[in-house]
Chain A
Amino acid sequence: MMSILVGLIILLSVIVLVQILRVNELVSEVKDQDPNEITDKDNNIQGILTFSIFGVLFLGFVIWQFKYWGVHILPPASSLHGATIDTLMNFTLGVILFVFFLTQPILAWFSLKYRGRKNAVAYYYPHNNKLEIIWTVVPTLVLTPLIIYGLNVWNDITSADTSNSKVIELYAKQFNWTARYAGDDNTLGKANYKLVEGLNVLGVDMEDDTAQDDIVTREVHLVVDKPVLLKMRSQDVIHSAFLPHFRVQMNCVPGMTTQFGFTPTQTTAEMKEQEGEDFDFVLLCNKICGAAHYNMKMKFIVETQEEYDAWIASQETLKNSLTLN
């Protein structure tokens, strides 16, 4: 019944549209005009519309969004390298917005200013080598510092010394995260996917001496201002470990180990003060991985050394949890 009604409405509106167009064309015929010829009046209206919509409404909308939606943008980075990314981002954004607010108004202004008139003639101007060289060279000059600056930041992030970092493994699977601390020896025990069984959810090889003191947890605690090295593995499909507040992201690929090192600079408590009581650092999955992709998360907590020591002491090592049970 509903679909018949909808179908009728659609049919009716098509008929109405056809009739309107026919009447429109008949009126033009009577006036001896071509209804689809572009007149000076059309050029005036469309020129003014182009200027007001491209140049005023759209640019105004962009500014409005920065004003009212800017608050949603992530807070400043809570990690050492993240701060350098933020500076680079602000610099790049500045350049981009400058070019944006330079070229879009020109486009809108030209459309209004040079709207056509019946008897006007355009200026024949096929090329100008000097101008073309200028607008090849200027973008190049603007891009050069952007590229160099960007590559510097990239190199600093990817070549950071991680030899003193606390090693933590992130293990991804449909649809949750597990973490493994490397323990006192700061070395992760070997693992093999064939060993995944029962409580040994990560497939850790318990023959390996370095595995004994490893600690498996369901949330990650970090010490503020102490470097960590995250090593990622995946059990089934590609996932991506995304920690937006730390500006950290790295894919987790089955069959290989990837890593990302960083140093948190703000504790959860500090962030709660700044952003509100319900704030938490969180790990998201950022690579399509199946039905519950949107709900694959783990809590990260940054705290002081004392708080961390107390927490880690309360966790069981693999040796205890796997062999005693």
Chain B
Amino acid sequence: MSEHHKETFLTKYIFSLDHKMIAKQFLITGMFMGVVGMLMSILFRLQLSNPGESFAVLEFFLGEKWAPGGVLDPNIYLALVTMHGTILIFWVLTAGLTGTFANFLIPLQIGARDMASAFMNMLSYWFFFAATIVLLCSLFVESGPAAAGWTIYPPLSALPQAIPGSGLGQDLWLIAITLFVVSSLLGGLNYIVTILNMRTKGMTMSRLPLTIWALLIVAILGVLSFPVLLSCALLLIFDRSFGTSFYLSDIIINGEALHNTGGSPILFEHLFWFLGHPEVYIILLPALGIVSEVISVNSRKPIFGYKAMVGALILIAFLSFVVWGHHMFITGMDPFLGSVFTFTTLLIAIPSAVKVFNYLATLWRANIRFTPAMLFAIGFVSTFITGGLTGIILGDSALDINVHDTYFVVGHFHIVMGLSAIYGMLAGVYHWFPKMYGRMMNKKLGYFHFWVTFISAYGVFFPMHFLGLAGLPRRYYTNSAFPMFDGLSDINEIITFFAIVGGLVQLLFIFNFFYSIFKGTKATENPWGSNTLEWTTPVERIHGNWPGEIPTVERWAYDYSKPGAEEDFVPQNVPLKEGETEH
């Protein structure tokens, strides 16, 4: 199996078939897009805290046309908000997170030489790359990038007369997202088949690490929900390009009455959120998987309630398909349907609570080793609690009436989905960096990065709940048009301050990342004393992962501090001793 063909620069780094290299390609593209998305958020935060003021940095990045005299144009403000959402949700937290860790961890943790289809895997990255290029191109379109919000509700997204971004920018957005969906599907198919077929001997489903469980469920969610997004986008493309009336009806725009009748924008919302809600869990579940692994390893304790953790993952995934209506409580939907969606939505709190309590139980009487990864994992638990709890308010249809589409929502989902997923991703990067590059990331910079990130992230997003409770709608270019919001400017200034600090410190992380790739101290084979199979591979990373036979799995992944064992960890490939029982 160990074929040693000559590798050129091109086959090793660019058109690589090796899952580990493809994972790094996803990671670095994701990080690049993360910087772009973050920069956008800082640009529009400047406008929100200092409405109408001139900033050289705005003019530097956006030019004289989009920021005349250094003041952000309202259309471009909406474009920045839209692109920030699109990039963070799809490019960073879907492809950057799942693409990286599914590719990297699945073969390594289940004991496989590579993915089921290495070629499809490579194709998946290159579709993603093409999507990235198209999306970045849309930033340089004369009329600006898509500006109808990342949810691209028609008619706004369908009519260039309604907002300039709905012209060429929206076309490119739709092409990019189509390429993105193809990439996700190619990847997702591969992950599922690999996990189901390529597990090494002894790796039964009940011995799978939780990371793999999470990634499997995420792949299934993706395969079921992304095609629906595609069908939803397809009809929008028809409406935009061929003049059909799927979503358009009775419209006068710029004084011109359109011929379209009978279409329904609500239909779009149903189709969109049928993907859109599972997408939230496509983002969150890999983070849950990574955090479970990191917490267990660094607590030197088995994850508490493995079966309950798997069950909760499955239940959350299932429920995510029957709650999409909670995004539409105030669209005039049938009140009975609203009740059903409230009921199913609030049910999600139960498996989520189980997960939180299980994490706390894992930390109880642990021997916690505070690596930067562990800090991010603990940070994840904190944000998951905070954001999950406010979800109870938003999921309740009666309460949603008054907080819907306000900053309360912005605070909620940035904490529960944005921060949690980012923390999970950063925990994963710090944790598996030694396996990815054979070197360690700098510890002190890691600590500094975590604390500044943690403090500034809560500093940005917690105050937003108060803006929302004051009734401030999201996606407002400024709140100065309403006297009732005059008192809120101090909150906005604090948020912007923390956003800038939090953004800058991510650059330090990126510095640490690249510095450590080349200059970090050399890692050992298993620096964290971890049980899973990837740590049995040599530091020198090779195509095929193991130089000899693939190890056989003899036990579950969580035998940490097991009584009777010599060390505080027992790798999965160590056979059970005489008289020893599995967990």
Contact = CB atoms under 8 A, between A and B. Distances in A.
Interface of A: 2-3, 14, 17-18, 21-22, 24-25, 34-38, 42-43, 46-47, 49-50, 53-54, 57-58, 61-62, 65, 69-74, 82, 84-85, 88-89, 92-93, 95-96, 99-100, 103-104, 106-107, 110-111, 114-117, 120-128, 131-132, 135-136, 139-140, 143, 146-147, 150-151, 153-155, 157-159, 173-174, 192-194, 196, 235-238, 240, 242, 244-245, 247-251, 253-256, 258-259, 278-280, 282, 284-295, 297
Contact of B473 (A58, A82, A99, A284): A284
A34 B523 CA distance: 10
B148 to A, nearest CB: 7
B466 A65 contact: yes
B335 A111 contact: no
A125 B558 CA distance: 10
A46 B399 contact: no
B538 interface: no
A25 B300 CA distance: 27
B432 to A, nearest CB: 15
B365 A72 contact: no
- Sort A-B residue pairs by CB-CB distance and give the 7 closest, nearest first: A255-B249, A244-B471, A46-B370, A158-B335, A258-B332, A123-B365, A294-B476
B482 A196 contact: no
B398 A290 contact: no
B561 A124 contact: yes
Interface residues of B, number: 128
Nearest to B520: A36
A293 B342 contact: no
B393 A93 contact: yes
Interface in B532-570: 558, 560-563, 568
A1 to B, nearest CB: 12
Interface of B: 56, 60, 74-75, 78, 148-149, 153, 155-156, 159, 162-163, 248-253, 257, 261-266, 299-308, 330-332, 335, 338-339, 342-343, 346-347, 349-350, 353-354, 356-358, 360-361, 363-371, 375, 378, 381-382, 385-386, 389-390, 392-393, 396-399, 401-402, 404-406, 440-445, 447, 451, 454-455, 458-459, 462-463, 466-467, 469-471, 473, 475-479, 481-484, 487-488, 491, 508, 511, 515, 519-521, 558, 560-563, 568, 583
Contacts, number: 368
Contact of A154 (B302, B342, B360, B475): B342
Contact of B149 (A38, A193, A235, A288): A288
Contacts of B393: 89, 92-93, 96
A124 B264 contact: no
A42 B370 contact: yes
B401 A85 contact: yes
B405 A122 contact: no
Contact of B304 (A125, A139, A143): A125
Given A154-B397, A236-B159, A286 B363 contact: no
A237 B254 CA distance: 12
B335 A155 contact: yes
18 contacts: A14-B511, A36-B441, A73-B466, A89-B399, A107-B363, A107-B385, A111-B378, A116-B369, A121-B561, A122-B366, A128-B305, A151-B398, A242-B405, A249-B404, A255-B248, A291-B78, A293-B477, A295-B481
